[in-house]
Structure 1
Amino acid sequence: MSISLFDLSGKRALVTGSSQGIGLALARGLLAAGAEVVLNGRDATKLATAAETIGARHSLAFDATDHSAVRAAIDGFEAEVGAIDILVNNAGMQHRTPLEDFPADAFERLMRTNVSTVFNVGQAVARHMIARGAGKIINIASVQTALARPGIAPYTATKGAVANLTKGMATDWARYGLQCNAIAPGYFETPLNAALVADAAFSSWLEKRTPAGRWGQVDELIGACIFLASSASSFVNGHVLFVDGGITASL
């Protein structure tokens, strides 16, 4: 097998929610593999700083929860700059509250941020990919796609939805030459998990619960992303790849 299977030279990748955390790490990894990267988020200033940090040529500020704004941004970029060959749907959020007390507005916000964004950006980008007969869509799911923990039931529901939406994308779009898959990270040290990382009791529990015995580091997601973004995964479709230190394999 040639290493050129993983070469992303000449490809352009859009990564949503990429001003920090997992999204920024994946953008940096795609750049290193040869892709041109487009960063996305709602804060243009934060995006510009992130782009300068990793040497990305483009940043595209839009609210991924706004279907019309997404369509306008994607169509405009495709017309003015060029094709988006790879999409990483990474935008997401967390809200921790016992289910019996979970605020309805927080539930709706989670759904919009974690599920609607995947539909909005996925559909807008896929329309162009379908016309070209090729494209890669990588949705960021979670260990909570398969498992639940107290206090995050709605988040778990959103990540289950991401997995099934990924399967639906593959079912509808594989015939047009698209590969649509998901990465399901376990527990990684990110700004989203800062409160858990700082909780000594939780970290101790996690280290015992995870066969690898530790938190994941965001750079450990890059290889999976490059695989799913490259021609190495040309017959992989509708798959959810867990990168979790073995936590979903073990009781």
Structure 2
Amino acid sequence: MTTAAPVLDLNADLGEGFGDWSMGDDAAMLEMVTTANVACGGHAGDGGTMRAAAREAAARDVALTAHVAYPDLSGFGRRFLDIAPADLTDLVIVQVGGLQAMAAAEGTTVRGVKPHGALYNALARHEGQAGAVVRALRELGGQLSLVAAPGAVVVDRAREAGIDVVLEGFADRAYLPDGTLTPRTRPGAVLTDPEAVTAQALSIATEQRVRATDGTWVDLPARTLCLHGDTPGAVDLARAVRSGLQAAGVRLEAAL
């Protein structure tokens, strides 16, 4: 009896420029990934960057998710904001709607929503904000998948509301023993060595676990694996991860 090859979605956070300011090499990253999480005006992104990302993703048959965030351009969405739930719901709807419009203009669609940065982390434990994001997804029609961390409060709330949830792991971020990401303020939070990043990607893809900073193993069931487009050497890391996964027999395809 043969064992089915592992299947994994490889995603990256892209479209994170704004106006004349650009970040990362989206075109090169889109050659490596199966899903693009596109910034849509919260932490980065404007009409032009959204349209360009949607167009280039469509040309490569790469799935799109809306990378929604707190309205915090100066902090790149990495600072917690105590936003009222009703306001957060509206912010998510506006950001998703903007990307949906640009995607439609380029002949493609948005398949899911992935919160960014501090919002992503808040949804692990903040009941009010988790409920606000789930409400936004319901009001957007209930057909968009939510990308979230295993064990996050928002996962249960979304599933209770009938929203498809895609659990996510990170190839280029260190994990704490409780399964959460090491805060970026700590040394070693971001992994930049291609061998280490590839090894972590393989562990998540083939064993559904990751080694934490204290050396222990943490279970990490994930259907999608993220590489940050703004990590130093992101393109080389993505190339190494993709090559390593394919060499191990992992089939790469969008999870949404």
Please classify the TM superposition score into its range, dividing by the shorter chain length: 0.3 to 0.5
Give the alignment's TM-score, normalised by structure 1: 0.38
Which is bigger in relative contact order (C-alpha 8 A, separation at least 6)? 2
Which has the larger share of helix?
Answer: 1
